[in-house]
Structure 1
Amino acid sequence: MTRAVAVNVGANTNQPGIRAPVYADGTFDFLPIPETEPTREPVPTYGDLASDLRMTIPDEIRDMSVHLDPEFAGYPECDHHTYGDPHGVKARPLSDLAAGDWALFYATLDTASDTADDRPDWHPSSWGAYLVGGLRLARDPVTDWETIPESERAVFANNAHVKRAEMDAAVLLAGDEASGLFDRAVPLSAPSGGVDANALVTELSADSGKGPWWRRPLRYDADATDRLLSVIDSREFAPWL
């Protein structure tokens, strides 16, 4: 009985002051937030990611270190599929998952197309929240780092929280081969605007879609997870908008 929890990740208008774009064909750039804590070793900068992105990285943040979490194998500077979080509001629901469940990630993205003629009818005109990737858990969540044998720590070695001077994640997740960034974004916002949740939120998740839902963890039970994964695979968004 597979379950899922979706959490907000990625660059936003607070950190580092910009959102990544979503394009008319549904492809998107993923941009992490800045690293705000001391690290044991050098970590990538926004400039290090620039050549693999379609968007232009502003000069003022190119030298800023990034908090590269979630980590998706195949994304620049990443080795495995991992995620860590120190905050109880996210860590608690993620800790309740088990091997085989999904940790899904959504980001707020700017609509790249300036006119309605240039974008699909499921894109909000300005910005929206979109599912951008996920981890199918290869193991149960790690909630006590000190109890993990050294032989099992290697998969997490490149995770941004493990690279911090003091490892601060309350939960660490490792994904299997089904994990990764999606090739197309999956809308959680309605076409009417980024703040308006569509039915993937209001009907499938346990969230009401009221208030700042795009900042909250979204919980999906087994039946809802099956339906959500089907939408992600089929890209049949219309019934949910």
Structure 2
Amino acid sequence: MTRALAINVAANTNLPGVRGPVYPDGTFAYVPIPERKPTRPDATVPTYADIDPPVEIPADARDAPVHLDPEFAGYPFCDRYTYGDEHGVKAGPLSDLDAGDWLFFYATLDLHEATGNGDTVDADDGTNYLAPDWGTYLIGGFEVDIAVTGSEYESLPAPERARFATNAHVKRESFDAAVLVAGTDRSRLFDRVVPLSTREAGADANRIVTDLSNDSGKGPWWRRVLRFDAKATDELLRVIESREFDPYLG
């Protein structure tokens, strides 16, 4: 029975000091956090300048390497779907994922009326499902192919470790992932966000969080791991594909 987790990723007001943008039509830009640990000399690690996201990165971080994790095939410098995490609070539930389960990624994003090129973006369907100022949104997901602990990864034969070769934790000078996840070809970075906040406020969880996940939606829910059982995962996948958000925005 398919289950799902959703975890917080991407740039925020602490790292590197700015959130990624979301536009009135629901399109957005995935902006990774900066890399905070030394990387191997032979590893290709892009900078914010290389990725050139459509948001103003603080000047002192512009040439900083990025921690490009999760990586999505088709995103700059990415050709596969992997995610790694060194934090035990997430590593436990992540390592428990089975093939066919889903790992979703959410981010806090600032509402922008214009792109980085100055172009105004209008809502394409007349439906306002975005929170004012900032909100929390699903931005992509992996259909899980394999999830392994860090120790399991290090004991894998070289050809099986190779699928994780471009993951940010593997590129670090000292490998530190407590868990690694690889996604199937059904994985993707979404074209448009799926709201987890209400229309009224980014800090207010909508019913995707409070009714479908295990989370109460109280306190800083946008920093926590959200768990979805089999029935809730089926409904979440339906909502993502249908984009029928209205019943859940309250």
Q: TM-score range by the shorter chain?
A: over 0.9
Structure 2 CA distance, aligned partners of 1:188 and 1:113? Answer: 20
Structure 2 CA distance, aligned partners of 1:54 and 1:61? Answer: 15
Residue of structure 1 equivalent to 2:14: 14
The answer as to 2:237 corresponding to 1:229 is yes
The answer as to 2:202 corresponding to 1:200 is no
Which letter does structure 2 place at the counterpart of 1:8? N
Residue of structure 2 equivalent to 1:139: 146
Which of 180, 183, 189 aligns to 1:172? It is: 180
Residue of structure 1 equivalent to 2:28: 28
What whole-Å deviation, never above 9, does each CA across 1:186-218 have from its counterpart, x for those lacking one? 000111111100000000000000000000000
Structure 2 CA distance, aligned partners of 1:76 and 1:142? Answer: 27
| Alpha-carbon shift at residue 92 of structure 1 (Å) | 1.1
Counterparts in 2 of 1:1-241, with a 5 A limit?
Answer: 1-41=1-41, 42-50=44-52, 53-113=53-113, 120-144=127-151, 145-241=153-249
Which letter does structure 1 place at the counterpart of 2:86? P
| Alpha-carbon shift at residue 113 of structure 1 (Å) | 2.9
Which letter does structure 2 place at the counterpart of 1:47? A
Which letter does structure 2 place at the counterpart of 1:194? G
Gaps of 5+ in 1: none
Structure 2 CA distance, aligned partners of 1:212 and 1:58? Answer: 25
**Equivalent pair of 2:147/2:179 in contact (CA under 8 Å):** no
**Equivalent pair of 2:11/2:31 in contact (CA under 8 Å):** yes
Greater mean alpha carbon deviation, residues 39-48 or residues 2-11: 39-48
Greater mean alpha carbon deviation, residues 149-158 or residues 135-144: 135-144
Gaps of 5+ in 2: 115-121
Secondary structure (helix, strand or coil) at the match of 1:232 reads helix
Structure 2 CA distance, aligned partners of 1:57 and 1:15? Answer: 10
Which letter does structure 2 place at the counterpart of 1:39? T
Secondary structure (helix, strand or coil) at the match of 1:190 reads coil
**Equivalent pair of 2:2/2:233 in contact (CA under 8 Å):** yes
Provide the identity percentage.
61
What whole-Å deviation, never above 9, does each CA across 1:105-154 have from its counterpart, x for those lacking one? 0000001139xxx6642111110000000111112434422211111011
Structure 2 CA distance, aligned partners of 1:178 and 1:56? Answer: 32
**Equivalent pair of 1:11/1:18 in contact (CA under 8 Å):** yes
Structure 1 CA distance, aligned partners of 2:60 and 2:48? Answer: 10
Q: TM-score, normalised by structure 1?
A: 0.94
Structure 2 CA distance, aligned partners of 1:151 and 1:111? Answer: 43
Structure 2 CA distance, aligned partners of 1:67 and 1:143? Answer: 18
**Equivalent pair of 2:10/2:32 in contact (CA under 8 Å):** yes
**Equivalent pair of 1:107/1:130 in contact (CA under 8 Å):** yes
Secondary structure (helix, strand or coil) at the match of 1:138 reads strand
**Equivalent pair of 1:95/1:143 in contact (CA under 8 Å):** no
| Alpha-carbon shift at residue 93 of structure 1 (Å) | 1.1
Count of residue pairs the alignment pairs up: 237
Structure 2 CA distance, aligned partners of 1:81 and 1:121? Answer: 31
Q: TM-score, normalised by structure 2?
A: 0.91
